[in-house]
Structure 1
């Protein structure tokens, strides 16, 4: 019996459009090799160019349109001339919050020794996963600006942490640590010495969850100390659970540890599957290299692997990871960010050929 998946494709802006083509190419290759799986793609041209034409980042009924899909693939969002808070909040954050994608999952795994920026560290040392709270926290969007344009202008930004959501995020992290069976450890990122309400609340719930999972080791570090330890001893991390803002910042540092943003895959997950989950690379739209055909598509293709894992096709996901690791052996054919002279499309082709083999 053929399993058919409807995928909403939002290439977005800049290099998002280029790398998305390679992600779809990989899925088409897998479909040809596996007669029991089929993908139906619907493309949506939402993003900053759409905003410059229409004054909005997505259709007014965009959320309703997306509800029927099994998953959403997003390339990247952002373009000069469109304020970042508009491009982010009116598309990406809107989808995350409307579809209760409260888990942001970001793997940080070094695949090749050559890409490690740290001395005396290697593939065996850098293998962690961040579980980032994804719908509230510092990005809840609560606040406002008063007396705008006067000397008394005042900006207020309020973080929102609910017990229900915080518990679910931490529970997900503990279950993930158990399934990974690496260090069987969860690290919580906090800043409770300065944030005496939100992060004290976060610490309290983490302690409660730790009591429920005594078979899992735990540790808690302030966000500044966490960033230091990620550089000094990345091998000590397994699963890291963090708030929306702290997780966002630390995973960019993590991307550097694994060789750059060209490896940074991500997933926005609704674990209960009440709504479609969304899968996106973390690298952004990179307008400075858009249109040159040199963007690294590995993050997008790794993101496709995460989507297949979520759709319970881990075997196909493993084929993708094996192919990525294989093509990293020939450095000259990789994109310029990895020291090669290959193009986006050529790297995608190489991954597809490796999958076939």
Structure 2
């Protein structure tokens, strides 16, 4: 039997990205040893620090350099000395678009031992996934500025929704729901956004007709945000446009206790390009270099990467080990009310694994 090898491009990025990626790699290496496969890592220095030195977040041929890997493991992007739109459009967004990572999948789960900000909610009440369209929608690059710096200054931004792009993200959501609790909720705003959102509703209705046996619901984004807080137990899979999905996939983890443990998968479901896995949290300049960053999100994102690579037993074991450490105050990091630093947290996960 051939030994399974997976080639991973790592991009630690900025700030605590370096700390959490290193932590995640240590846990994933332990899982690989336990379950009989290997992970071959290649690190790329693409970051705001690189931008300061070269004027580019990544080299011109950066996309081609990572295209041949099996997956990408990303830490965090952003630093106060570089405007956010420069760092994101110089690295993260080109990776998503040019590799066609059109499905952003973000699980939301309340773990035992993590304090929920919602009264009387238990882990069984909060367990859903936000599926966000990741390459078009409201985040298109179509638009511009006129008469800059004058009283007549104007800005225009076009939201681009295609049938191809909308239908395929619906398919991802419905296929995922069939493996879970068979329910999909659509985020819309067709009562106020009169062209793109009625189109989105039509494509959701068409997807519903294609997937018998999956129950559905649709809510306008404003009341849907309220329902995340008031009724998180209603949700299984939530499908949303780029903007709405971006917002909901931060609100969801906050409802579940902490955005600091939230992971994200940027998927090319057809597997024509390497998918990318990252923690949702940012580069956290205020704690960078202090050794206290919570590695849970990077570890969970790493587990999602293992699952995508077909290492399902290892992925489950990593998540279970992480859950074990979150359940105990003495093995949680300070941001979750515990006492551990990054290294101690990793050691606890390794022990549980």
Same fold judged by TM-score > 0.5? Answer: yes
Deviation at residue 198 of structure 1 after TM alignment? 0.7
Contact 1:323-1:354 at 8 Å conserved across structures: yes
Question: What is the distance in 2 between the residues matched to 1:173 and 1:326?
Answer: 29
- In the TM superposition, what whole-angstrom CA distance separates every residue of 1:195-241 from its partner, at most 9, and x where no partner exists? 10111110010011111113111111011111100111100000000
Question: What is the distance in 2 between the residues matched to 1:95 and 1:32?
Answer: 30
Aligned pairs (5 A) from 1:169-248: 169-180=169-180, 182=181, 184-248=182-246
Residues 1:295 and 2:293 aligned together: yes
Question: What is the distance in 1 between the residues matched to 2:154 and 2:327?
Answer: 54
SS state of the match for residue 158, structure 2? strand
Which position in structure 2 is the counterpart of 1:75?
75
Aligned pairs (5 A) from 1:96-111: 96-111=96-111
Question: What is the distance in 1 between the residues matched to 2:33 and 2:271?
Answer: 27
Aligned pairs (5 A) from 1:5-24: 5-24=6-25
Question: What is the distance in 1 between the residues matched to 2:68 and 2:327?
Answer: 40
Question: What is the distance in 2 between the residues matched to 1:114 and 1:166?
Answer: 35
Which position in structure 1 is the counterpart of 2:50?
50
Contact 1:332-1:339 at 8 Å conserved across structures: no
Q: Which runs of 5+ in 1 are unaligned?
A: none
Which position in structure 2 is the counterpart of 1:145?
145
Question: What is the distance in 2 between the residues matched to 1:258 and 1:313?
Answer: 27
SS state of the match for residue 179, structure 2? helix
- In the TM superposition, what whole-angstrom CA distance separates every residue of 1:254-305 from its partner, at most 9, and x where no partner exists? 1112221121100000000111100011001111111111111000000000
Question: What is the distance in 1 between the residues matched to 2:212 and 2:263?
Answer: 30
Question: What is the distance in 1 between the residues matched to 2:176 and 2:331?
Answer: 35
Deviation at residue 31 of structure 1 after TM alignment? 2.4
The number of residue pairs the alignment matches comes to 352
Deviation at residue 349 of structure 1 after TM alignment? 1.4
Runs of 4+ in 1 over 4 A off after TM superposition: none
Question: What is the distance in 2 between the residues matched to 1:144 and 1:345?
Answer: 46
Question: What is the distance in 2 between the residues matched to 1:67 and 1:117?
Answer: 41
Decide which moves more: 326-335 or 306-315: 326-335
Question: What is the distance in 2 between the residues matched to 1:277 and 1:324?
Answer: 22
Q: Which runs of 5+ in 2 are unaligned?
A: none
